[in-house]
Amino acid sequence: MAAGRDSKVVRVVSARVALAGVVVAALLSGAVVAVSAGPGGPFPDVGAGHPFAEEIGNLADAGITGGFPDGGYHPGDPVSRQSMAAFLGRGLGRAGYVPFAPSPETTGDGTFLSLPAVSIQPGADISGTNGFVVVTATIEVDRNSDTCPCSPSIFIQATKNGFANIEFAGDARNVDMASTETFGELTTQAVIPVTAGSTWQFRVRAANDVTTFSGGVNTQFSGSITAVYVPYGASGGDTIG
């Protein structure tokens, strides 16, 4: 009985070693090229019937790994320490955080202000790969009490080519404030699909819409915005869910 159990342990350990080789091969000396899809699989030597075709495909989709110059993945090749460093460098998450002091005062006519942006470069520099950035913003609203009731609101924007070209705009979040309230807080979060290898910027737009606007400056926004890159969706691939 003991010998049988030992044999099972050896087989399990061997399988794990083989898996480690599969998922990080093709990184030697930075020899990463664009993915060349094989019949039903991510590479010519990793077809749909390969036991780790899905995992290797997910790595390629996220920009964590690519193929050798000959187009293959070479799943059985040994892995060096420098290859492992390249693999982890592309695959580990990244985070950006920007706190900001009170904004310039704005009127309560619903005009949106652009609050400071946070930048992040997700994933590797392999063209066409994907990932996600989780953006969270917490905004404090300070205002005069003589111009409410009002409804401060915020929403997230994202771009990789400057904010003249908005590639994502989240839904607005708002909070209703009574005439006697001078302080409010808003939090919003978005999971944004991104292309890896490009520098992305994320910002909050904020406004205060006063029900009965009486003129004058009356509102300031402060808080922070955080961006965290993750290479996979919840399913382990390049889709959300």
For the stretch 62-117, pLDDT in tens is 878 878 889 899 988 988 899 888 888 888 888 999 999 887 777 767 788 899 99
Question: Taking the model in full, what pTM does it have?
Answer: 0.74
No. of H helices and E strands in the chain? 3, 10
- Per the CB < 8 A criterion, the answer to whether 130 and 62 are in contact is yes
Nearest to 28 by CA among 71, 64, 75, 82: 82
Question: Helix, strand, or coil here: 2?
Answer: helix
Domain region containing 56: 2-91
Q: Is residue 86 part of a domain?
A: yes
Total domains, the chain: 2
Q: What is the pLDDT of residues 191-233, one digit of tens each?
A: 998 887 788 999 999 988 876 655 555 788 999 999 999 888 8
- Per the CB < 8 A criterion, the answer to whether 89 and 53 are in contact is no
Residue 185 has pLDDT above 60, yes or no: yes
Taking the C-alpha atoms of residue 7 and residue 71, their distance in angstroms, rounded to an integer, is 37
Same domain assignment for residues 80 and 98: no
Residue 210's DSSP bridge partners are 150
Same domain assignment for residues 102 and 218: yes
Q: What is the model's pLDDT at position 127? A: 61
Last residue in a domain, options 91, 120, 137? 91
Would you call 129 exposed, middle or buried from its count of C-beta atoms within 10 A (0-12, 13-18, 19+)? Answer: buried
Residue 169's DSSP bridge partners are 157
Q: Is residue 241 part of a domain?
A: no
